[in-house]
Amino acid sequence: MIFSQRTLLLAFASGAGAGYFPWAPGTAGTLVALPLSIALNRIAAARLALALITLAAFVLLAAWVSARGEGLFGKKDAQKIVIDEMAGFLVANFLWPLGLSSTVFAFLLFRFFDIIKPYPARRAERIHGGWGVVLDDLIAGLYTLLSLRLLAPWGLL
């Protein structure tokens, strides 16, 4: 079976269909990112450079796919586009220890920052095109990553 370019683009943009979930599609997209994040962290444990290249490539892909997804859905940052949440969570959980409790905490913290959109995330949403879709999630991911790094030494995780 040959998939059309449009079908593949919709599959990537929607996180293999997670974006079509009727309630909290961003949360569903972040759930899809969990195994990708764990795999990326395993790669990082073996070859950090390869993990960084993979992360950068995914972020670039997310921006490109998000721009095309906006055209297909006919709406700026359509809720069905969740590849941006996936990219943001890959950043949020990058180099974080493997384990259920730490991954769940990273997930919850990322969703918190993605929903409240602290400065400059809300401002980044105003950027046109795929980067405007992805940047606010990358910022939420960075806030999560920094928060995890700040809380860990205090034994709060």
- Give 54-110 pLDDT, tens digit per residue: 999 999 999 999 999 998 888 888 899 999 999 999 999 999 877 777 888 899 999
As a whole number of angstroms, the distance between CA 90 and CA 125 comes to 19
Q: What radius of gyration do the chain's Cα atoms show?
A: 15
User: Is the dihedral angle over the CA atoms 124, 129, 133, 135 positive or is it negative?
Assistant: negative
As a whole number of angstroms, the distance between CA 57 and CA 15 comes to 16
Measured in degrees and rounded to the nearest 5, phi and psi for residue 80 equal -70, -15
The chain-wide mean pLDDT, for the chain, equals: 91
Q: What is the pTM of this model?
A: 0.92
Using the predicted structure, report yes or no on whether residue 1 has a pLDDT greater than 60: no
Task: List the domain boundaries for the chain.
Answer: 25-154
* C-alpha closest to that of 108 among 37, 30, 7: 30
